[in-house]
Structure 1
């Protein structure tokens, strides 16, 4: 049976099992999905679990409301795109990045793309390994103009970085991995963070701004400011030294960081190794969602995520990294 006939059969089965307004009742449950066999379009439909599993395996359907996607950018031998999903009531369901499995092949092997460098030792040349930062970066606008992105969504844009040799901290994060920075402030704020001789190749005045103390109510639980992780063209990095396994003798696989700038939170950041994605596609790692530690209060009102999710979908042959389970924070 060809792919089109499989999709039609699965969609017919879905229509017989559920209706778009179905919800959990008693022992029976339904899942909302975007039923589609293309990278765009589709119909948000409530489906039974057995139909959902079949659709995800055999078509390009996926969980949650149908998404709006940003334009594709090249990554390795494939591509990546940002996306947003919005509930019927206008609240955010997910914001994330999706990239094709072939994007894991053909990736660069040098330390970085040399976009952000500074002659720290003054010898007249830029050492790619020690005087440049940022890996290979892909700024991604969110599809906010489509009308499908929720008002008040905390994320304003996404900066995806691939680090072929990892980065500091030495012995922890120095393995090939991706950083997904969901910035809470406009791109102009990040673009103004200069390179220089302090911290991780950051301008010394900007280092002072990046490491300015975040008031206790707004500091995420369990996170520490290590100061030396302030980086040019990026901001400071706050690390979960309480709960992250890589800080307790385990190898780094995936973790969640926050960014700091001028006494406020700057970004939310899942960091995930290339090996973890490879394991997802091979079936040796499982799709999953993981908790995001929260501050006691949010300085700025908006919708903030309580989970980050990492998935591989067989039918789409792609990966997603998303922020989900949003709640509305009133702000200070």
Structure 2
């Protein structure tokens, strides 16, 4: 999907409440969080979505996230049959030091994967570590697809407690990769009558770490939550860069926006 011409600006974070509750301080020695650099706005529903990076006084990224206007939850594509709409969001240049290449906000009108309780209208926010050409090349008809889909990373690259959503060959999603679900979250067990509110998935492709994905039901997001948690982390990383340690979702009354953020960005070496 085409992206509007790149346009960004630096804005000072003005909400002390948001800073105090949800912006994780930069790692020691990196300086204090001082500003917000935004990517270009992209239409979603009746509103817009945009990526952002908060940077410290030295320009080092401290958090990375997506902001959705209140109206982005309205007039979303819907039909009798399931509709999935992927909105590709460009990151600002200041995100280059992070491990992430781009972000997609995927709207699922009927949900998917009922065996995991994800069969409710929801957003998938993919923070991709792979570049767009690689992600777009994930297709069953592409040369080498079968061995690449079957290849999973060494366990040290996946957080403990996560497992593939199914057999890698049949569960790898075109244009995304293989999703890994948090098996400790019993509240998403449909057999117990529970369904998705929010969760975080990890993704892989061809033996590589591919994405980190907050998944949020529209119903839960519309409650204007204030959610913050520590991420479950892998033991090792395949590529050097700044990786998150926290995950937050909140509503900001002043700006009338929902924010989905990966915070506590910390430098990791490849191993």
DSSP-derived class of the 1:190 partner: helix
Q: Which residue does the alignment assign to 1:314? A: 253
DSSP-derived class of the 1:279 partner: coil
Q: Which residue does the alignment assign to 1:99? A: 68
| 2:12–2:36 CA contact under 8 A, matched in 1 | no
Instruction: Say yes or no: does 1:231 pair with 2:178.
Output: no
Q: Which residue does the alignment assign to 1:240? A: 182
DSSP-derived class of the 1:275 partner: helix
Question: Following TM superposition, by how much is the alpha carbon of 1:204 offset from its aligned partner in structure 2, in angstroms?
Answer: 9.1
Question: Following TM superposition, by how much is the alpha carbon of 1:77 offset from its aligned partner in structure 2, in angstroms?
Answer: 1.0
Segments of structure 2 that go 5 or more residues without pairing to the other structure are 1-7, 24-32
The whole-number CA distance in structure 2 between the counterparts of 1:267 and 1:43 is 29
The whole-number CA distance in structure 1 between the counterparts of 2:12 and 2:66 is 20
What RMSD over aligned residues (CA atoms) do the two structures have, in Å? 2.6
Say which of 85, 102, 107 aligns to 2:54: 85
Q: Which residue does the alignment assign to 1:153? A: 98
Seen in structure 2, the aligned counterparts of structure 1 residues 320 and 214 have a Cα distance that, compared at 3 Å, is same
The whole-number CA distance in structure 1 between the counterparts of 2:151 and 2:246 is 27
Question: Following TM superposition, by how much is the alpha carbon of 1:103 offset from its aligned partner in structure 2, in angstroms?
Answer: 1.2
The whole-number CA distance in structure 1 between the counterparts of 2:186 and 2:229 is 11
| 1:77–1:107 CA contact under 8 A, matched in 2 | yes
| 1:68–1:143 CA contact under 8 A, matched in 2 | yes
Q: Which residue does the alignment assign to 1:52? A: 16
Say which of 161, 173, 182 aligns to 1:222: 161
TM-score by length of 1: 0.68
The whole-number CA distance in structure 2 between the counterparts of 1:263 and 1:41 is 37
| 1:142–1:158 CA contact under 8 A, matched in 2 | yes
Question: Following TM superposition, by how much is the alpha carbon of 1:212 offset from its aligned partner in structure 2, in angstroms?
Answer: 1.0
- Bigger Cα Rg: 1
Segments of structure 1 that go 5 or more residues without pairing to the other structure are 1-38, 46-50, 57-61, 112-127, 197-202, 281-285
Q: Which residue does the alignment assign to 1:255? A: 199
| 1:302–1:330 CA contact under 8 A, matched in 2 | yes
Question: Residues 63-142 of structure 1: matches in 2 within 5 Å?
Answer: 64-110=33-79, 129=82, 135-142=84-91
Q: Which residue does the alignment assign to 1:114? A: none
| 1:244–1:255 CA contact under 8 A, matched in 2 | no
| 2:112–2:119 CA contact under 8 A, matched in 1 | yes
Which is worse superposed, 246-255 or 68-77? 246-255
The whole-number CA distance in structure 2 between the counterparts of 1:300 and 1:315 is 38
Instruction: Say yes or no: does 1:325 pair with 2:261.
Output: no
Q: Which residue does the alignment assign to 1:181? A: 126
Q: Which residue does the alignment assign to 2:135? A: 190
Question: Following TM superposition, by how much is the alpha carbon of 1:169 offset from its aligned partner in structure 2, in angstroms?
Answer: 3.8
DSSP-derived class of the 2:16 partner: helix
Greater relative contact order: 1 or 2 (C-alpha under 8 angstroms, separation 6 or more)? 2
Seen in structure 2, the aligned counterparts of structure 1 residues 263 and 42 have a Cα distance that, compared at 3 Å, is closer
Aligned residues: 248
Q: Which residue does the alignment assign to 1:302? A: 241
The whole-number CA distance in structure 2 between the counterparts of 1:44 and 1:219 is 33
Seen in structure 2, the aligned counterparts of structure 1 residues 109 and 170 have a Cα distance that, compared at 3 Å, is farther
DSSP-derived class of the 1:154 partner: coil
TM-score by length of 2: 0.82
DSSP-derived class of the 2:117 partner: coil
